[in-house]
Structure formats: structure tokens, C-alpha cells
Structure 1
């Protein structure tokens, strides 16, 4: 009777795993998030400018101002969310800025 043994498993080659982004991927992601922050900041600034240019009074009795200011508040929340994503990516493991120190 013949017996076949299974070969010993070979170790995986060293290098980044599929779950860990490479330095280049991380750098690209950081730049994409920076661009998103810049775009969100511009949108928030423009919506604030539109709200401030609305005819007075700038209070809750002016429905035009209220609508424009609410749009600005939504744009501002988008900006804050983009900033949080950028901060999280900067602090993430594998960030080249955090390696070696």
C-alpha cells in the first residue's frame, strides 16, 4: 500500500497583505481626502456667501435667509465629515507619516 504525504505549506512571501494598503495607496487616499476637504470648504464658503447676500433681515422671520443658511449648515456638515475622514486616514496604521517615529 502506498502512502502519500501532503507537502509542508510554504510561507507566504513577505510584503503588504491585501488588507493593508501600500504606502502609495495610502498617499493616494490621503490626497483624495484632501481634495474632498478643499471642495467641501469651497462649497460651504459659497453657500455662506449666498446666505449673507440675501436681503435682510438676517433672522428667522426671513424665509429666504433661513433656507440659504440651512443649505450652508448642510454644506458645513459635509465639510466636517470630510475633515473627520481625512484625520482618521492620517492617524490610521500604515500611514507613512507615522512610520519610524
Structure 2
């Protein structure tokens, strides 16, 4: 684990630079929060594959919604039928919060 491996370097860093009160693992923890949640939802059998597949799917859904939203902000370059379908699909999620919840659940 990266956090544990970082500990092996702390003695050298402290000796060279002094105390490091700004050092925090908060960012690392936040970045892995999604993976931790998906691991907890897996059945723990081949959990790595399940976790990465689920996290990748959630990320793909978030990118898709972001792309659709960007297209709808600049509709002049897109066919009217496609725009209609995009609006219909995104209308299932009336607010940004609802879209994010749907992405998180799917």
C-alpha cells in the first residue's frame, strides 16, 4: 500500500528537512474512497476484478453524462433528433444531484 510504503521514507525526509506537519494522507484517502465503497459492495470473491470493473463503469457513466451535458450547452453542432434523445435521457435526472446519485448507484 502506498501509504505504508511512504512510512519507510519518513525517517530520511525528517532528517533532511525537519518536521513535516503539513504531511497528510487525507487526499489519498479521498481518492480511494470510491474504491473502498465498491469493495464493500462486492462479495469479496475476486474482489479486485469486481471493484475495478464497478468503479470503471461508474466513471464511464459520469463521463457520458458530462459529455451529454456539454453537447446540450452547445447544441448548434448536433442533429435535432440526437438533441431530442439526449434531452429525453437526461430529463430522467432533473437536477445535477439526481444525475450524480444515478451515476453513483449504477
> Same fold by TM-score, threshold 0.5 exceeded?
no
The TM-score normalised by the length of structure 1 is 0.40
- Report 1 or 2 for greater relative contact order, CA contacts < 8 Å, sequence distance ≥ 6: 1
* More helix, by proportion: 2
